Amino acid sequence: MTTPATEAPSPTGTPARERRSAPVLVVGGAILAAALAVMFVPGMSREMIGVCAIAAMLVLIFLNMHIGLALALPAMAGLVAVSGPLALENVLLTLPYDSVAEWTMSVIPMFVFMGLLLWRSGITEQLYDAGKQWLSWLPGGLGVGTTAAGAGLSAVSGSTAGTTYALARIGIPEMLKAGYHKRMAIGSVIVAGLPGQLVPPSILLVVYAGISESPIGPQLLAGIVPGILIAVICAATLVGLALLRPSLVGTGRARPRTSWAERGRTLRVVWPVPALIAIVIGGMFGGIFTATEAGAAGALGALLLTLWKRRGDGAVRAVGQAAIGTLAAVGTIFFLLLGAEVLTRLLAVTRIASVFTDWVVSAGLGATGFLLLMIVVYLALGTFLEGMALLLLTVPVLLPTLEALDISVLWFGVFAVFMGELAVITPPVGIVAFIIAGIVRDPEVSQGQKITIGDVFMAALFFLPLCIAYAILLILVPDIATWLPSLGNAS
């Protein structure tokens, strides 16, 4: 059985693309051709060209084209339809460099390298063991320990998919052995990954900051309290379920007893991780580091930790694998940012964002009504888009509306990233569900129980109302996200 330490997560959280069936390809191709044809009809309005380009983007994403290409190609066609080929040529001459050649964007390779190094160091199992040893005495303690480990792994990897993979491999067999209902065990793993892109190092928050031009340091700080709070709420929910329905957590079976000596042993093993996180976050909060310098300090600390834990040839191999993974991930992320920048140019020339803003303002929804509507929109888009695609597709359209309704761009980044996290657990796409469904095929993981994709989706849907309620809480109490950045000196 492959250990999580050797299966590094994708820092972008982007799932592998699967082939669509022939009928789906035919229908999608027909819609795409129609959208492109309408774009080039003589006399077509700019707004309609923009709408057709966005429709083509959605079709290409649904057909599993690479997200960067799915954003860029229809946007390029739209620019040609509106302003002619010379305008597109001017964009392509400058945009590939201008969209990523910024000092602030250098934090991305730092955070990715930090996450992959810590993952390769083998700390994954040790963080889970620490969570289990300290929290197993609670009702539903193994599930609560899994949630705590998920918060820690999120801060290590910045990847929801990677956190889910690790915890499913380790946690599901432990809970099934203890008599947990299979959906309770799976649900504990699913919600454990929710803080994944809220707690630094969050690649999605950095990408959002790049798109929205908000300062990266405060944007990262804004995700800390919401990330911790959702972990606490999920843990409290698991305890409540265990008290109300003890059969879900193996009623009648003795809870494991752990001595203080064993708990102390786990702390001696994992203390470098919270120390490293404290240095990165504390440095940004206190204004000692910029976000880029914090990323560099984190990467250096992760490198030293990996060399200490793996030693010898294992350390060299781990660092090499992390470096290769970083190059691949950063190339992917920058290509996605390029696609988003082309989309932004199209939205500017077609005035789609302005038209949408005018409609929202004239409808009299107000900030709260608009954000409640966005919960519905994000949940709908999340049925076939993952978090990165949601950000790249929606944020350029919504930025003028946020300004018109006086909604904090910093706060909206946390909200949008959290809704993107829900996308990875929402059927029918829900990459997290498919990750777990693939893992539980291993008899060592499922402990001989029959676990279907339906069981996984039911476990995810059970916790979905809790997540929606939390999104509403963020809307009603925005200080949850904006309080910490307002105290710090990050820039």
pLDDT (tens digit per residue) in 91-113: 788 777 776 667 767 788 888 88
pLDDT at residue 157, rounded to an integer = 64
DSSP-derived secondary structure for 75-124: HHHHHHHHH-HHHHHHHHHHHHHHTT--GGGGHHHHHHHHHHHHHHTTHH
> How far apart are alpha carbons 9 and 61 in whole angstroms?
22
Q: How confident is the model at residue 312 (pLDDT cuts 50, 70, 90)?
A: confident
The count of other CB atoms within 10 Å of the CB of residue 64 is 18
The count of other CB atoms within 10 Å of the CB of residue 429 is 18
For the chain, first and last CA: distance in Å? 44
DSSP-derived secondary structure for 311-370: -HHHHHHHHHHHHHHHHHHHHHHHHHHHHHHHHHHHHHHHTHHHHHHHHHHHHT-HHHHH
- The yes-or-no verdict on residue 6 having pLDDT over 50 is no
Percent of the chain at pLDDT > 70 equals 90
pLDDT (average), residues 182-210: 84
Closest to 226 measured CA to CA, from 399, 443, 477: 477
Q: pLDDT, tens digit, for every residue of 327-357?
A: 888 888 888 888 888 888 888 888 888 888 8
Grouping H, G, I as helix, E, B as strand and the rest as coil, residue 486 is: helix
Helices 85-98 and 312-350: crossing angle in degrees, nearest 10, is 150
Peptide bond into 201 cis (omega under 30): yes
- The yes-or-no verdict on residue 490 having pLDDT over 50 is yes
> How far apart are alpha carbons 332 and 389 in whole angstroms?
12
pLDDT at residue 4, rounded to an integer = 40
Closest to 258 measured CA to CA, from 131, 126, 144, 114: 131
- The yes-or-no verdict on residue 378 having pLDDT over 80 is yes
The first and second tokens of residue 57, run together, are 């983007």
The first and second tokens of residue 181, run together, are 């209902």
> How far apart are alpha carbons 43 and 129 in whole angstroms?
65
Out of 154-158, 375-379, 442-446, least confident range? 154-158
> How far apart are alpha carbons 216 and 292 in whole angstroms?
9
Closest to 248 measured CA to CA, from 168, 194, 190, 176: 176
Q: pLDDT, tens digit, for every residue of 388-440?
A: 888 888 898 899 999 999 999 999 999 999 998 887 777 766 777 788 888 88
Q: What are the distances in angstroms from CA 79 to CA 83, 85, 211? A: 6, 8, 19
> How far apart are alpha carbons 284 and 449 in whole angstroms?
47
Q: State pTM to two decimals.
A: 0.81
More confident of the two residues 428 and 325: 325
The first and second tokens of residue 452, run together, are 């279907």
- The yes-or-no verdict on residue 14 having pLDDT over 70 is no
pLDDT at residue 252, rounded to an integer = 46
Q: pLDDT, tens digit, for every residue of 39-80?
A: 888 888 888 988 899 889 888 888 878 888 888 899 899 989
What's phi and psi for 78, nearest 5 deg? -65, -40
Grouping H, G, I as helix, E, B as strand and the rest as coil, residue 249 is: strand
pLDDT at residue 1, rounded to an integer = 37
Q: How confident is the model at residue 486 (pLDDT cuts 50, 70, 90)?
A: confident
> How far apart are alpha carbons 443 and 425 in whole angstroms?
23
Is the separation of the CB atoms in 306 and 117 below 8 Å? yes
Peptide bond into 427 cis (omega under 30): no
Cα angle, residue 337 at apex, residues 299 and 318 outer, rounded to 5°: 30
The count of other CB atoms within 10 Å of the CB of residue 49 is 25
- The yes-or-no verdict on residue 84 having pLDDT over 50 is yes
Q: pLDDT, tens digit, for every residue of 363-372?
A: 888 899 999 9
Q: What are the distances in angstroms from CA 331 to CA 40, 212, 295, 300, 336? A: 33, 20, 18, 21, 9
Q: Which amino acid is at 33?
A: A
Q: How confident is the model at residue 468 (pLDDT cuts 50, 70, 90)?
A: very high
Element containing residue 137 per DSSP (H, E): none
Closest to 367 measured CA to CA, from 422, 397, 412: 412
The pLDDT mean for the chain works out to 82
142-151, 177-186, 310-319 — which one is most confidently predicted on average? 177-186
> How far apart are alpha carbons 273 and 251 in whole angstroms?
34
pLDDT at residue 429, rounded to an integer = 66
> How far apart are alpha carbons 253 and 247 in whole angstroms?
10
What's phi and psi for 180, nearest 5 deg? -65, 145
- The yes-or-no verdict on residue 132 having pLDDT over 80 is no
Tell me which DSSP letter residue 180 carries: B
> How far apart are alpha carbons 212 and 224 in whole angstroms?
19
